[in-house]
């Protein structure tokens, strides 16, 4: 069985997808991490996302491998585990830009489809229900208002003890990333016609996860 969860940055997709996968005994596939790993390569090699020909050239030198260690997804870039390097703003911004290029998306499509063909998965991303797994048994489009997503991210950073966190800047960054992901030509972020819309603005993580687990169990 395949479950697709798409939606904008900061809607809670990964936390919820992880929880649902654990409860259902499925594997959790974080596709954003794959785009981020490619971004790490581009940053390390000084390739600009604006130079499509250079990115296309670089893509041929990249191998991405997904492994599961203690149930957690690990991303290997040319043999090195880069999982610990993926979650910075710099990498997120580069991923958002480079993921708009068809050569980058093409590289990851078969990896994602193969994981879903071989396993029961909860896969999260931007184009899973619309493009990667159009026949997924359950599709969720998980969203929340920009204000709520920015506030959650702000709270997360403050809880981590980061200094000088600017809530307005976070909101601007989230809005810019939404725009980039929704307006690109290649596999833009949008709700699949058959996806269930879940707005988590006024819901807790537990409530959303429970709803998705219930829907999945109904379709098993």
Residues near ligand C5P, by CB under 6 A: 9, 31-32, 35-36, 92, 95-96, 99, 125-128, 177, 181
What proportions of the chain, in percent to the nearest 5, are helix, strand and coil? Answer: 50, 15, 30
In 10 A of CB 70, how many CB atoms? 5
Shortest distance in whole angstroms from residue 126 CB to ligand C5P: 4
Q: Which is nearer to ligand C5P, 117 or 217 (CB)?
A: 117
Structure-block tokens of residue 165: 């966190």
Going from the C-alpha of 182 to that of each of 120, 121, 127, 142, the distances in angstroms are 28, 24, 10, 14
Shortest distance in whole angstroms from residue 127 CB to ligand C5P: 5
In 10 A of CB 169, how many CB atoms? 12
Shortest distance in whole angstroms from residue 178 CB to ligand C5P: 9
Structure-block tokens of residue 216: 């999945």
Q: Which is nearer to ligand C5P, 73 or 99 (CB)?
A: 99
Q: Which is nearer to ligand C5P, 194 or 217 (CB)?
A: 194
Shortest distance in whole angstroms from residue 218 CB to ligand C5P: 25
Do residues 127 and 70 make contact, with C-beta atoms less than 8 angstroms apart?
no
Helix (H) or strand (E) holding 198: strand 196-199
Q: What is the DSSP letter of 119?
A: S
Q: Which is nearer to ligand C5P, 40 or 216 (CB)?
A: 40
Q: Which is nearer to ligand C5P, 25 or 134 (CB)?
A: 134
In sequence order, the 6+-apart residues with CB closer than 8 A to the CB of 58 are: 41, 42, 45, 47
Structure-block tokens of residue 125: 């991303």
Shortest distance in whole angstroms from residue 99 CB to ligand C5P: 3
Shortest distance in whole angstroms from residue 177 CB to ligand C5P: 5
Give backbone dihedrals phi and psi of 65, rounded to 5 degrees, phi first.
Answer: -130, 135
């Amino acid at each position: 069985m395949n479950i697709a969860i798409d939606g904008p940055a900061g809607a809670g997709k990964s936390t919820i997808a992880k929880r649902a996968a654990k409860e259902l005994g499925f594997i959790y596939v974080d596709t954003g991490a794959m785009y981020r790993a490619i971004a790490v390569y581009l940053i390390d090699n000084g390739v600009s996302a604006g130079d499509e020909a250079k990115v296309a050239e670089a893509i041929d030198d990249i191998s991405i491998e997904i492994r599961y260690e203690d149930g957690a997804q690990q991303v290997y870039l040319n043999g090195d585990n880069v999982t610990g390097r993926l979650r910075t703003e710099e990498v997120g911004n580069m991923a958002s830009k480079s993921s708009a290029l068809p050569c980058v998306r093409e590289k990851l499509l078969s990896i994602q489809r193969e994981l879903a063909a071989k396993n029961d998965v909860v896969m999260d991303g931007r184009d899973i229900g619309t493009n990667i797994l159009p026949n997924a048994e359950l599709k969720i489009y998980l969203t929340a208002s920009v204000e709520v997503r920015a506030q959650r991210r702000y709270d997360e950073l403050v809880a981590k003890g980061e200094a000088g966190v600017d809530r307005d800047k976070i909101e601007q960054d989230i809005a810019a990333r939404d725009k980039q992901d929704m307006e690109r030509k290649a596999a833009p972020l949008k709700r699949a016609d058959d996806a269930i819309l879940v707005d988590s603005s006024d819901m807790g993580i537990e409530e959303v996860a429970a709803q998705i687990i219930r829907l999945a169990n109904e379709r098993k």
